[in-house]
Amino acid sequence: MKKISILSQRNNYSIVISKNLFKKKSFFYPLIYTRNIVVITDTNIARLYLKKIKSFFLKLCFKYQHIILSSGEHKKSFNTVKKIISILLKHQCNRNTILIAIGGGVIGDLSGFVASIYQRGIPIIQIPTTLLSQVDSSIGGKTGINHLFGKNMIGSFYHPIAVGIDPTFLYTLPKKEIFSGLSEVIKYGITLNLKFFYWLEKNIKKIINLETKTLQNCIYKCCKLKSEIISKDIYDLKTRMILNFGHTYGHAIENFVGYGNWSHGQAISAGMMISIYLSKYFSNIDNFTIKRIQNILIKAKLPIHGPKNMSPEDYINLIKYDKKQNDIDSGFTEIIIRSIGKSTIKKNIETSFIRSAIQQCHIQN
């Protein structure tokens, strides 16, 4: 079992990485003792694990309920929030209730948002079950639902009281979800840590094949890198913005094609490549470096360009709504790669550079 501490202004909490988490009473019991719990999960997790999860929690707590949602990005909506809150009220859930989100990024984001607004805030434990949520979305307290104009436009910063990561959940995950999660894994290497990028180049196949030791090391390294950034910038105002590398264009792709038609990881992979071509205008990044990044994305079965029918103007019209863009009249704000493992925030980027980077990405790939 490995443990990482997160320091936040609201509360300090731990990320625990352990096989067979639902046999670890020592993790859950101090957190849920005397509390009523509500598990929020999706139909896929319920089909595979709910019987075992329910039995485990009934031995630990006084009162247990669960809410099962269908899977998919479309569930991140006000309608779903209203449905969950109505169920909580029907069961007379009070501030002594704790939510336990068991699922991927959709379940985590949605449950976190509900926890942040229900009766002005109730505790939540995040149990991520996909690679993407284990290395990224469950960590850092970002919650949210989608809007017509963009992804996660409605949300809050609301940290869980704990994150429990069990890599064995990944053994029942479709392989395409492993590939999707690898985009966020690779992002850490590109933006923050050259040695980690080297390590990924050597070990990407082992991760894809879910080799236990390599997989656990990968998850731990990602969580450690993100926790260090979060502790410095909880509210995504400065350094933490670097973790949004590729997301400006990735979110635009998801919106353009319709949520769920491209996985989040696929969209972010294509978005990262646009950001890399943009970086050429403001740094010394060379074609050899670009090729290395392309190669590792290709090995991870990820795209290196966006949809062929998505024009530069389609991107530009959508990225205006990106949360990093505070002053469009003065130009765009983007994450720029100076070299692998080194990145910075660049402001006041003219639209012509954005357009050219998108065109280059499509032409070159």
The span from the CA of 364 to the CA of 356, in Å, is 12
The span from the CA of 120 to the CA of 231, in Å, is 24
Tell me whether residue 184 is annotated as binding. Answer: yes
Tell me whether residue 43 is annotated as binding. Answer: no
Q: DSSP class of residue 237? A: S
From 274, 112, 247, select the one nearest 183 (Cα to Cα): 247
Q: What single string gives the DSSP state of each residue in 88-132?
A: HHHTT--TTEEEEEEESHHHHHHHHHHHHHGGG---EEEEE-SHH
Q: For the purposes of burial, counting CB atoms within 10 Å of the CB of 331, is it exposed (0-12), middle (13-18) or buried (19 or more)? A: middle
> Per the structure block, which two tokens stand in for 91?
């069961």
Tell me whether residue 72 is annotated as binding. Answer: yes
Tell me whether residue 106 is annotated as binding. Answer: yes
The span from the CA of 114 to the CA of 177, in Å, is 25
* 192 three-class SS: coil
Within 8 A by CB and 6+ apart from 162, the residues are 13, 14, 15, 16, 27, 31, 125, 126
Tell me whether residue 362 is annotated as binding. Answer: no
Tell me whether residue 238 is annotated as binding. Answer: no
Check if the beta carbon of residue 217 is closer than 8 Å to that of residue 206.
no
Tell me whether residue 247 is annotated as binding. Answer: yes
Residue keyed to tokens 């991140």: 76
Tell me whether residue 169 is annotated as binding. Answer: yes
Tell me whether residue 130 is annotated as binding. Answer: yes
The span from the CA of 311 to the CA of 308, in Å, is 8
> Per the structure block, which two tokens stand in for 112?
């976190």
Tell me whether residue 105 is annotated as binding. Answer: yes
From 346, 283, 269, 355, select the one nearest 319 (Cα to Cα): 355
> Per the structure block, which two tokens stand in for 149?
């104009």
> Per the structure block, which two tokens stand in for 86?
């109505």
Going along the chain, which residue ranges are E strands? Answer: 2-6, 13-17, 36-42, 64-69, 97-103, 124-128, 142-147, 150-157, 162-165, 332-339, 342-349
Tell me whether residue 107 is annotated as binding. Answer: yes
Tell me whether residue 73 is annotated as binding. Answer: yes
Q: Which residues are annotated as a binding site?
A: 71-76, 105-109, 129-130, 142, 151, 169-172, 184, 247, 264
Q: Which residues are annotated as a binding site for Zn(2+)?
A: 184, 247, 264
Q: Which residues are annotated as a binding site for NAD(+)?
A: 71-76, 105-109, 129-130, 142, 151, 169-172
